[in-house]
């Protein structure tokens, strides 16, 4: 299943959850405001948990592997 899509005719080309009209940025906004994933999914019923999990897993893989740890 496709997770994220972009189409200039849908939301002006903003990345959105595939099969919906929910901007992917909405997930980030909710998490920054300390809302849970469950709350996000309740607000946007067309988004699946699998889509959210895939985005979060992708974000985790983008974190630097060799960043310096600060004590």
**Averaged pLDDT of the chain:** 92
Query: Of 54, 26, 58, 15, whose CA–CA distance to 5 is shortest?
Result: 15
| Predicted structure pTM score | 0.82
Helix (H) or strand (E) holding 4: strand 4-5
| Rg (alpha carbons) of the chain, rounded to whole number | 14
Q: What is the pLDDT of residues 37-68, one digit of tens each?
A: 999 999 999 999 999 999 999 888 887 777 77
Residue 16's φ and ψ, nearest 5 degrees, are -140, 165
Q: Domains along the chain?
A: 4-62 (1.10.10.10)
Q: How far apart are CA 30 and CA 70, in angstroms?
A: 28
């Amino acid at each position: 299943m496709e997770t994220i899509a972009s189409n200039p005719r849908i939301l002006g080309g903003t990345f959105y959850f595939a099969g919906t009209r929910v901007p992917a940025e909405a997930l980030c906004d909710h998490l920054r405001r300390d809302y849970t994933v469950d709350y996000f999914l309740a607000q946007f019923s067309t988004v699946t948990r699998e889509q959210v999990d895939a985005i979060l897993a992708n974000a985790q893989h983008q974190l630097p592997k060799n960043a310096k740890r600060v004590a």
